[in-house]
Structure 1
Amino acid sequence: MANLKTFNVVALGVGFMLIFTAFTTCGNIEQTVIKSLTNSSFEGSGYNSLAIIYGVFSASNLIAPSVVAVLGPQLCMLFSGLVYSGYIAVFIIPMTWSFYLTSVLIGVAAAVLWTAQGNFLVLNSDATTINMNTGVFWALLQSSMLFGNLYIYFHWNGKSVITDSDRRMLFLVLTIISILGTMVFIVLRNNSSQEEEEEPQSEEEGLLLPAHVQYKQRTLSAVRDIVTEFRTLTRLLNTRTIVLLSFSMAYTGLELTFYSGVYGTCIGATGQFGSAAKGLIGLSGILVGIGEILGGGLFGLLCKNNQFRRTSVVFLGMLVHFVAFYLIFLNIPNDAPSVNESETQSIPYLTPSVPLAMVSSFLLGLGDSCFNTQIYSILGYLYVEQSAPAFAVFKLIQSISSAIAFLYSNYILLSWQLLILVIFGFIGTICFFLVEKIEDLTLNLRDD
């Protein structure tokens, strides 16, 4: 059983690694690619697309637990992965209508995908393995930051404009990778506890009932599952623990927007980086990924052995991010996120430095892994029996903040975006500390 659960966690991580190798690379470069399009009829915006995705994502989280309850996590991840592949394929022959249509569809798919992932991870973990499994999954997932960005760095380095042939080749490869990642979900296997949940009545009892009665019972059971999961989700939203954790969750959405969409665009738009600017987008993504992988693997193992508390890891994440934000504030032009031209010639407080920009990328990834692994861990620990609604709440709050961030990213200066991140990072860390403190007091009272 332990070997089966480990296999499931690793396979889950590999599938997500492949899908998000494609999607994360797409998100990092799509605004830069759109600026280089020779198709004059295309009027889409990468920022607007990502805002639509996260807006629909947030609303869809209200129904995602019910979908997962009815279809099961494996089937949900399979269908959702195909939708991700469709969004990436749009860039092969970009058209405004298909770009925005798939933005809506992927918002729905993302809610179902991440709710199913959280549910499946908890089903294959227990109190002693949740930290390790979260770390393993996170490290595999964030390996996705490496491969597509390596291609961008080596093939786009020195290019000021991305040609149509470069774009078509890259997005064709990314689409194939995404489809392969989706197919990995086929090899996931149910463990015995899942099978017991899915078989509430014995085979003998089922055979005694007419087919139309069995169908009616399955339909009623599905409806009950939908209603139960929705009620659980809305009830969780009103609990003290989730209200406090919502600030930490919202912060992960804001900084997700920043490192996955805004910062790469800023680097590509910094004129002082010269002809290497576009290639540096890929190198930046690689270093974000290295930070994510290092954090996921390291903190998963350390927390497993109780060498670090969750609060220690989150506090480290806050410090790492604050250092990164300060370096970016000094090193990147203030108008880089919203410049209409392909590059800005504005000078920040320091002369833009490539090594400093890359160190900031690494720190962004390392800090992000601190927050996300510990939120996954505490939700998996506190809500073992309500894992699907709990992770849906997480993605609901995270996606709302991401959508808001993508909306304002194209209009406000870099310094204001960094200030917003600092404020929410500090509040989110304090609230995480409060949740851990409350849970410790509750456990002590139970022991007494």
Structure 2
Amino acid sequence: MDPASGADTARLLEEQDSESNAHLTSSDGVQSSRETNEGAPLRSPADKQWSPYKRDLHMLSFSFLLVFSAFGATQNLESSLNTDQGLGPISMGVLYCFLTVCSFLAPLFVHWLGAKNALLLGLTGYWAFVAANLVPTWFTLVPASAYLGFTASILWVAEGTYLTSAARAHSASCGSPEESTIGEFNGVFWAVFASNQVVGNLLALFLLRNGRSDPAHPGHVDKFATTLLFAVFLACMSVGTVAACFLRPEAKGARDLGADDPPVSIRSNLRSTMALLGDRRLLLLLALMVYSGLQQAFIWSDFTKDVVTPALGVSWVGGVMAVFGASDALASYFAGKLSSGMHSITFLVSGGAAAQLLVLIALLVKSSFGSSSTDYASLFTAAFLWGLGDAVFNTQISAILGICFPDDTASGFAQWKIWQSAATSAACFATPYLGIGTKLCILAGVLTVGMGGFLLVTLSTRRLAVPKER
């Protein structure tokens, strides 16, 4: 045999052996893969959208719905029920003043306790505040407001941290885009949360409308009706607090806070919180954060006291605010669904700002011409439009903070609460000294400045995102 042909034959046999081995290896791999897949349960597309973190989302939303159904309705009635030397507005001012100051240290408590335990601590203040309204005096309501300011600062930083952590964990678990998942989680939470205005205010409307009129104060209801209302509210809040106990600890591996992180001192926490003020994006968002606090103070205090009560009576405050809550809830849900990035956030926030600006202009024209007649339709329409704007600001500011500050979300939410609550506190303290027309002009001016800064942030963020997409 020719040596060359013998070598060719040997080479041919080796190639056939290699192909055979490769085929066997491939077959084994396919078989192994099939065995692995057969061993794991098949997941439908619907299953891939579910994770334990959605259960946490729904439990958190349900807990807040029950607690804030009581607190929200109580807050709406403060300026109308507790009129003795401005006790109602001043107690709200104390609340938000303490919330402002304590928000600087709130991330530290969240770090020490963990998001879940911080949530439970935060809820205790709301229970104490509603209980103080059973005997509303300067010695009960003001201290309860101060304590609520302290616990509320912890609650809202913990809520933002917990919700963002759950959204990111759900995104990693299901393979969904992180930005859209954060928007979806915020939309669902704020939609359920905003429903508290419907539940609590309808309950207040029912109980107060059926209460006896107080002959000493026309248009007001007697003590028995308010006592019954706050007792029902306390029971509702107790159930909501128990529900929060069933939350799981925040997702492990979250980028914000973790159980394995090194101890954090008060100085380092303050440094971390204040460091964000050096970020140009946060500075541009400050005016919008301030406006979010001013517009909430207006709808809770000025709108109910100076617009609704003179026109329809205090018993109808709950009915009008229920419309506000229904609008807020529906808009929050759809805003979360539509929020998929900076482009959609820009569109939604612009629409919400336009809705509230329309209400401000209408009320300003009415107050300027001294019209005292206000019908049901105009009040309900104003409440509906204001709810649209409130929903957009709550959901989209939360989403944009999660997008812009992914590695320091707790400090970002703390900054939001600092500026929002400071604005709310200032508005409550200024209520006895400013006319409705002046307040409307201030709101319109701050909204205009805030939208200008917000648009600059969205433009700069989208420009930075273009190279990454390419």
Q: TM-score, normalised by structure 2?
A: 0.81
Counterpart of 2:130 in structure 1 is: 88
Distance verdict in 2 for CA 1:431–1:91, change over 3 Å = same
CA distance in 2, matches of 1:178, 1:280: 23
Letter of the 1:14 partner, please give it. Answer: F
Matched, 1:348 2:370: yes
Matched, 1:181 2:240: yes
CA distance in 1, matches of 2:58, 2:253: 18
Counterpart of 2:195 in structure 1 is: 143
Counterpart of 2:182 in structure 1 is: 130
CA distance in 2, matches of 1:4, 1:266: 46
Distance verdict in 2 for CA 1:75–1:441, change over 3 Å = same
CA distance in 2, matches of 1:28, 1:150: 12
CA distance in 1, matches of 2:227, 2:458: 48
Letter of the 2:364 partner, please give it. Answer: F
Counterpart of 1:166 in structure 2 is: 225
CA distance in 1, matches of 2:250, 2:161: 13
Counterpart of 1:314 in structure 2 is: 349
- Give structure 1 stretches of 5+ with no counterpart: 36-41, 202-220, 335-346
Q: Per-residue deviation at 1:242? A: 0.7
CA distance in 2, matches of 1:74, 1:194: 15
Asked whether the 8 Å contact 2:348–2:392 carries over to 1, the reply is yes
CA distance in 1, matches of 2:86, 2:115: 33
Distance verdict in 2 for CA 1:310–1:73, change over 3 Å = same
Matched, 1:108 2:153: no
CA distance in 1, matches of 2:410, 2:80: 36
Matched, 1:407 2:429: yes
CA distance in 2, matches of 1:187, 1:133: 19
Asked whether the 8 Å contact 1:61–1:393 carries over to 2, the reply is yes
Counterpart of 1:289 in structure 2 is: 325
Asked whether the 8 Å contact 1:131–1:301 carries over to 2, the reply is yes
Counterpart of 1:243 in structure 2 is: 283
Counterpart of 2:300 in structure 1 is: 260
Q: Per-residue deviation at 1:385? A: 1.9
CA distance in 1, matches of 2:227, 2:427: 29
1:156 to 208, 212, 222: 208
Larger Cα Rg: Structure 1 or Structure 2? 2
Counterpart of 1:48 in structure 2 is: 90
Give CA deviations for 1:312-347 in whole Å, capped at 9, x if unaligned. 11111111001111232345x67xxxxxxxxxxxx8
CA distance in 1, matches of 2:86, 2:365: 31
Letter of the 1:229 partner, please give it. Answer: N
Asked whether the 8 Å contact 1:77–1:113 carries over to 2, the reply is yes
Trace 1:19-98 onto structure 2 (pairs within 5 A).
19-35=67-83, 45-98=87-140
Q: Per-residue deviation at 1:228? A: 3.8
Task: Calculate the aligned-residue CA RMSD, in Å.
Answer: 2.2
Distance verdict in 2 for CA 1:301–1:308, change over 3 Å = farther
Q: Per-residue deviation at 1:412? A: 1.0
CA distance in 1, matches of 2:325, 2:309: 21
Counterpart secondary structure, 1:193: coil
Trace 1:296-335 onto structure 2 (pairs within 5 A).
296-304=332-340, 309-331=344-366
Asked whether the 8 Å contact 1:237–1:243 carries over to 2, the reply is yes
Letter of the 2:363 partner, please give it. Answer: I
Bigger mean CA offset, 371-380 vs 159-168: 159-168
Distance verdict in 2 for CA 1:307–1:447, change over 3 Å = closer
Bigger mean CA offset, 150-159 vs 293-302: 150-159
Counterpart of 1:370 in structure 2 is: 392
Letter of the 1:157 partner, please give it. Answer: R
- Give structure 2 stretches of 5+ with no counterpart: 1-47, 169-177, 214-218
Q: Per-residue deviation at 1:89? A: 0.4
Trace 1:414-433 onto structure 2 (pairs within 5 A).
414-433=436-455
Letter of the 1:71 partner, please give it. Answer: L
Give CA deviations for 1:53-95 in whole Å, capped at 9, x if unaligned. 1111111011000110111111111111111101110111223
Give CA deviations for 1:106-130 in whole Å, capped at 9, x if unaligned. 1111100000000001110132310
Asked whether the 8 Å contact 1:43–1:96 carries over to 2, the reply is no
Q: Per-residue deviation at 1:225? A: 5.5
Counterpart of 1:342 in structure 2 is: none
Q: Per-residue deviation at 1:140? A: 0.8
Distance verdict in 2 for CA 1:396–1:191, change over 3 Å = closer
Q: Per-residue deviation at 1:227? A: 4.2
Paired-residue identity, %: 24
CA distance in 1, matches of 2:232, 2:283: 42
Distance verdict in 2 for CA 1:329–1:155, change over 3 Å = farther
CA distance in 2, matches of 1:409, 1:350: 20
Distance verdict in 2 for CA 1:239–1:192, change over 3 Å = closer
CA distance in 2, matches of 1:173, 1:427: 42
Distance verdict in 2 for CA 1:69–1:199, change over 3 Å = closer
Q: Per-residue deviation at 1:444? A: 2.5
CA distance in 1, matches of 2:89, 2:155: 22
